[in-house]
A and B are shown apart, each in its own frame.
Chain A
Amino acid sequence: MKYCQGLYPIIRKENPAAEVYGLVILCPEIAAIAKCGQFVNIRIDGFTLRRPVSICEIDRQKGTLRIVFQIRGKGTDAMSLLNPGDLIDMVAPLGGRGFTLQEGANAIIIGGGIGNPPMLELAKFYGGNATVISGFRNAAAVILQEDFKSTGAKTFLCTNDGTAGEKGFVTDILGRELQTHTPDIICACGPMPMLKGVAAIAKEKGIRSEVSLEERMGCGVGGCLVCACRTVKDGEEIFAHVCKDGPVFDSKEVFPNE
């Protein structure tokens, strides 16, 4: 593992939905080693703690990373004011464990709300062998649908209120899809109740599944132990850390009782 820390130029900015922003950052040294499922830790002037944000896309040729984040508080609000030409202070790439990439395998990839961005790089890897299921609160929150389609994956969209795509939850679509085909792996990122639902379905069908977690972080590298996540491995309770032991975990470790 190697970490880079520095100031990197922002070359593109997007605002795909209300309070959701995307940045493309030129950082060849990070792009060269970043892996699918990892994250970056961003410093914002005037704040003690950095803000961890998942990596949405890695372009090794152009030497860029794309991140997409939602305004959650004052820190991310300040981050949303950054513009192309500005420099952003990042520590990256972080995360000791990203998504498992299995050549030639079939994957169902599930994103809930702001849990969708880290799934794009994964969808690009599996391409035509992937089924992507995206869920959002409503039509106004929908992001990344064109990006997911351009990976060649089969895509499904749902919203809680039916204002875009199907009305319902990602787990409804997952259940339906599993009636027609069985993937080698299911990967998900989103709110905990959604991840729990996905884990339960995967366990019932005996399909391997991985979930990407979020927790309030300190150092982002495994030194401070604040981003604890209760896991069970081989029957033993372990307080793992999202930053270093994750952010991607086997769903059986996170939801042992589902």
Chain B
Amino acid sequence: MNENRLETVFCGIKFKNPIIPASGTFGYGREYEEFYPLSSLGGISVKGTTGKRRNGNLPPRIAETPSGMLNSVGLQNPGIDSFIEKELPYLKTKNTVIIANIAGSTVSEYEEIAGKLDSTDVDMLEVNISCPNVKAGGAAFGVSCEGAGTITKIVRRATKKPVMMKLSPNVTDIASIAKACEAEGADAVSLINTLLGMRIDINIRRPILHNNVGGLSGPAVFPVAVRMVWQVANAVNIPVCGMGGVSSWEDAVEMMLAGASLIQVGAALFTDPMTPVKIIDGLEDYCRRQNTDLKDIVGTVKPW
């Protein structure tokens, strides 16, 4: 029997546990190392990185909502070259799986970034085709099977590293998008990115977010995410990384039962920065009580 009951293999990569801070909520990890060693995490999905430095959108970029929040950061990041030069060497010393989250405004930008990462120490690529906060590219590719397939194909060709496509929930049929990614050679899919939303300040009659609209995350989206993970996991033969409102170990178990092999945690970090380590502790107890390896529960929900 394996001593570490949380260990899992995903796209051929060994994860000591399935808990990963979600892209865009954890920077490149440095800030959270002040709370706990990054080596306690299964992996880290780094801030979405583009070909060139991006300043992002004007503030305010965040608005609270019932059981959640909207954000409109707009992919602020230092650019791929700076990531490779300044952030990756640091992350490499942390003994955790490094997932490079990448985003582009054009097909060739995705190709360029994936190509640059191919010869680096990142373990896998998570391809963001679902950012709701940028004008060009981003979600535009993720809302059609054709767009999602095109980006998958181009990234697949540019790298030998495992490719995980990050899907948008702002679509009619997310399972068909996942299938399009699988058909073009994706090794995995991750979902869900944020749901497009809006809040208005009733006193000044203007949107709270300067970008007018933004992405909804937090516990409010959790049931939507579980449903989509379940639909996608049943539609494809590649593994699924689930996220969207996970804030406790019970949520993580629920999403794994729906079909997720890995779990990303985002907005919950803002409520409690210790959330990932609390979830890992809770999962260990759960496996002990249920006398099971965690990977064996994936997708085992029995539908009515």
- Residues of A at the B interface (CB closer than 8 Å) are 1-3, 5, 43, 47-50, 75, 91, 215-230, 237-239, 244
In the complex, which residue of chain A has the Cβ closest to the Cβ of B210? Answer: A228
B13 to chain A, nearest CB (A): 24
Q: Once A and B bind, how many residue pairs between them come within 8 Å at the CB atom? A: 103
B271 touches A225 (CB 8 A): no
B58 touches A228 (CB 8 A): yes
- Give bound CA distance, A48 to B222, whole Å: 13
B71 is an interface residue with CB less than 8 A from chain A: yes
Q: B17-40 CB contact bits vs A (8 Å, 1 = yes)?
A: 000000011110011101100000
- Using Cβ atoms and an 8 Å threshold, which residues of chain B touch A50? 270-271
B73 touches A225 (CB 8 A): yes
- Using Cβ atoms and an 8 Å threshold, which residues of chain A touch B31? 219, 221-223, 244
Query: B35: which of A5, A47, A216 is its contact (CB, 8 Å)?
Result: A5
A223 touches B71 (CB 8 A): no
In the complex, which residue of chain A has the Cβ closest to the Cβ of B245? Answer: A48
A26 to chain B, nearest CB (A): 21
Please classify the interface of chain A as helix (H, G, I), strand (E, B), loop, or mixed, using the class held by over half of its residues.
loop
Please classify the interface of chain B as helix (H, G, I), strand (E, B), loop, or mixed, using the class held by over half of its residues.
loop
B92 to chain A, nearest CB (A): 19
B89 is an interface residue with CB less than 8 A from chain A: no
Among the 9-residue stretches B62-70, B96-104, B107-115, B255-263, the one with 4 or more Cβ atoms under 8 Å from chain A is B62-70
A237 touches B55 (CB 8 A): yes
Contact flag A223-B69 (CB < 8 Å), given A48-B218, A49-B271, A237-B55: no
- Residues of B at the A interface (CB closer than 8 Å) are 24-27, 30-32, 34-35, 47, 55-65, 67-69, 71, 73, 76, 218-219, 267, 269-274
B34 to chain A, nearest CB (A): 5
B282 to chain A, nearest CB (A): 17
Nearest 3 interchain pairs by C-beta:
A226-B62, A226-B61, A223-B27
In the complex, which residue of chain B has the Cβ closest to the Cβ of A89? Answer: B272
In the complex, which residue of chain B has the Cβ closest to the Cβ of A230? Answer: B58
B65 to chain A, nearest CB (A): 8
B32 touches A226 (CB 8 A): no
In the complex, which residue of chain A has the Cβ closest to the Cβ of B266? Answer: A224
- Using Cβ atoms and an 8 Å threshold, which residues of chain B touch A230? 58
- Using Cβ atoms and an 8 Å threshold, which residues of chain B touch A227? 59, 61-62
B30 to chain A, nearest CB (A): 8
11 A-B Cβ contacts within 8 A? A1-B34, A3-B273, A48-B267, A50-B271, A218-B270, A221-B31, A222-B30, A223-B32, A225-B24, A226-B71, A228-B76
Contact flag A225-B270 (CB < 8 Å), given A48-B68, A216-B61, A239-B55: no
B279 to chain A, nearest CB (A): 15
B69 touches A48 (CB 8 A): yes
B69 touches A49 (CB 8 A): yes
B27 touches A222 (CB 8 A): yes
A215 touches B64 (CB 8 A): no
B34 touches A219 (CB 8 A): no
A11 to chain B, nearest CB (A): 24
In the complex, which residue of chain B has the Cβ closest to the Cβ of A75? Answer: B64
Query: B272: which of A2, A43, A237, A244 is its contact (CB, 8 Å)?
Result: A43
B272 touches A48 (CB 8 A): no
Beyond the given A49-B64, A223-B31, A224-B24, please list 13 additional residue pairs across the A-B interface where CB-CB is below 8 A. A2-B34, A5-B272, A43-B271, A216-B59, A222-B27, A225-B27, A225-B47, A225-B56, A225-B61, A226-B60, A228-B73, A238-B55, A239-B55
